[in-house]
Amino acid sequence: MSKSNDDNKPISAKKFMKELRRYEKGSVTRRHFLGVTGLGTAMAVMGTAVPSLWSGKANAFGDLGDRLVFSTWPNYWNQKNLDEFTELTGVQIQVNAFGSNEEMLAKLQAGGTGWDVFVPTNYTISNYVELDLIQALDLSQIPNYDAAANIPKFAGPATVNGKVYCVPKNWGTTGFIVNTKKIKSSPKSWKDFFDVTMGAASGHSIVHDYQLTTIGGALCALGYSFNSVDAKELKEAEDLLIKAKPHLFAITSDYQPGMRSTDAWISICWNGDGTQLKNDMPEMEYVIASDGGEIWSDFYAIPKDAPHRAAAYAFINFMQDPYIQARDAAVHGYAPTDARAIALQPDSLASDPILHPAMDLMNGLEFGAAQTLTDPIRAEVMARFKSA
């Protein structure tokens, strides 16, 4: 361990100045500054005489062990951030990427995941608390988290029965992406989405392999709530989906390859992916449907049986640093919930209409409801649609 201490890897002058500027601007804490620059260690060494240099624990972060298991979504982190955390703490990070909240829940319910930090979506948190699968956070161990800087609408679901169970990561919307070179009719609603799917874009449409968004979209197209668990409404949604199935290109949450190869012309889409696609192909247009859809926020949480708790806290604290948050978002595109991080973003991202849509566009959107995660009818409707 002592060999991997940051004090053995001298910081470059340029990086030191950058960190100093960040500290001066107040975008990092003193603790972060001391840790990154190695000054903290140096001070600790001076204070406790030379032997502590060899103790192996002279790290500004303390002894965190050497491993952390992090479960998140695909294309949703900046590898640079993870590498830097490893460099600072000696903790190796193992990343698992998942395709749906259901999948995460299934793993946690089965037990023995070995996860230390994972990224649940707003509507799942109360379920996790009820099932006793996540632990309440000791916010004093996450000094970088600033509740006041976070948009309450997005941070709210973290608090269940007065206790805070997680801290927010990013937020976004679920709409659809259209290749305007292929589809000229400019669909605006979920109803249009399914009409186009079964008409002009037959064979070129993608829905997610994810019950919340796919069933939700079908429900909106029929004029019902995105979150409906009403048996009759779900039956209608199932009928619509099964009717549309022969016209689909694919049922997959990994829709970027299909859209990029232009095999698919229209797909249910999360807004950050929408930005990623539009950046490379200007003909791509992200649409927030006029008849509804989803607005969501994601969080960092610690499972109840996390084996490396100290490392988990250190990691979440590190990721809450505004500079780190902004650097994270620079890669995946999704908007931070933290005003301090948004302030650090380049204008192109901070004022992007896809990532920060006008508030009135989002009036019709709903946060996912806790019920939808565990509702047996929704689960079975999705499974039947897929095997139909």
Partner 1 sequence: MREDSKSNRWLTAALLAPTSMWFLVMLIFPLIVILVFSFGERAAVGGYAGGFTLEQYANLPSRLKAFQNTMVIAPAGTLLSLLVAYPLAYFLAVKVSRQYKLILLVLVIVPFWTSLLVRTYAWIFILGGRGIPTLLEFIGIEGVRLINTPGAVLVGIVYGYLPLMVFPIFVSLEKLDKNLLEASSDLGGSPFKTFLQVTLPLSMPGIATGCMLVFILLMGEFLIPAFLGGGKVFFIGNALVDLFLQSRNWPFGAAVSVTLVAIMLITVSLYMRLTMGGKTGRDESLM
Q: Which residue in the set 66, 103, 195, 239 belongs to the binding site for partner 1 (CB under 8 A)? A: 103
Q: What is the DSSP letter of 121?
A: B
Using CB under 8 A as the binding rule, the residues of this chain from 124 to 183 that contact partner 1 are 127, 130-131
Distance of alpha carbon 299 from alpha carbon 159, whole angstroms = 11
249 binds partner 1 (CB under 8 A): yes
Interface with partner 1 includes 96 (CB under 8 A)? no
Instruction: Tell me whether residue 87 or residue 380 sits nearer to partner 1 (CB atom).
Output: 380
Number of chain residues interacting with partner 1 (CB under 8 A): 34
Q: Which residues contact 295 (CB under 8 A, 6 or more apart)?
A: 171, 172, 173, 174, 362, 365, 366, 367
Answer yes or no whether residue 380 interacts with partner 1 by CB under 8 A. yes
Binding flag, residue 74, partner 1 (CB under 8 A): no
| Contact present, 229 and 378 (Cβ < 8 Å) | yes
In this complex, which beta carbon is closest to partner 1, that of residue 81 or of residue 252? 252
Residue 109 Cβ, how far from partner 1 at the closest point, in Å?
Answer: 5
State yes or no: residue 245 binds partner 1 (CB under 8 A): yes
Instruction: Report yes or no: 300 and 167 within 8 Å, Cβ to Cβ.
Output: yes
Q: Check binding of 374 to partner 1 (CB under 8 A).
A: yes
Select from 9-17, 86-94, 123-131, 335-343 the region that touches partner 1 (CB under 8 A): 123-131
Tell me if residue 273 falls in helix, strand or coil. Answer: helix
Residue found by looking up tokens 């620059």 in the block: 37
In whole angstroms, give the CA distance from residue 381 to residue 211: 8
Regarding 257 and contact with partner 1 (CB under 8 A), the answer is yes
Q: Is 198 in the site for partner 1 (CB under 8 A)?
A: no
Interacting residue with partner 1 among 91, 105, 311, 312 (CB under 8 A) = 105
CA angle 217, 223, 227 (to 5 degrees): 55
Per CB under 8 A, 72 contacts partner 1 = no
- The residue among 318, 268, 348, 364 whose CA lies nearest residue 116 is 318
Q: Tell whether residue 262 is a contact of partner 1 (CB under 8 A).
A: yes
Are 284 and 99 spatial neighbours (Cβ–Cβ below 8 Å)? Answer: no
Using rule CB under 8 A, residue 203 touches partner 1: yes
3-state secondary structure of 215: helix
Q: Is 87 in the site for partner 1 (CB under 8 A)?
A: no
Is 43 a residue that touches partner 1 (CB under 8 A)?
Answer: no
CB of 254 to partner 1, least distance (A): 9
Sort 246 into a burial class: Cβ within 10 Å, 0-12 / 13-18 / 19+.
Answer: exposed
330 binds partner 1 (CB under 8 A): no
Binding of residue 388 to partner 1 (CB under 8 A) = yes
Is residue 269 at the binding interface for partner 1, with CB under 8 A as the rule? no
Phi, psi of 291 (to 5 degrees): -100, 20
Cβ proximity to partner 1, 42 vs 198, nearer residue: 198
The string of DSSP codes covering 220-259 is HHTTS-TT---HHHHHHHHHHHHHHGGGEEEE-S--HHHH
Q: CB of residue 125 vs partner 1: minimum separation in angstroms?
A: 14
- Using CB under 8 A as the binding rule, whether residue 279 contacts partner 1 is answered as no
Q: Which residue matches tokens 């809450």? A: 320
**Residue numbers at the binding site for partner 1 (CB under 8 A):** 100, 102-103, 105-107, 109, 127, 130-131, 203, 209, 211, 245, 248-252, 257-258, 261-263, 374, 376, 379-380, 382-384, 386-388
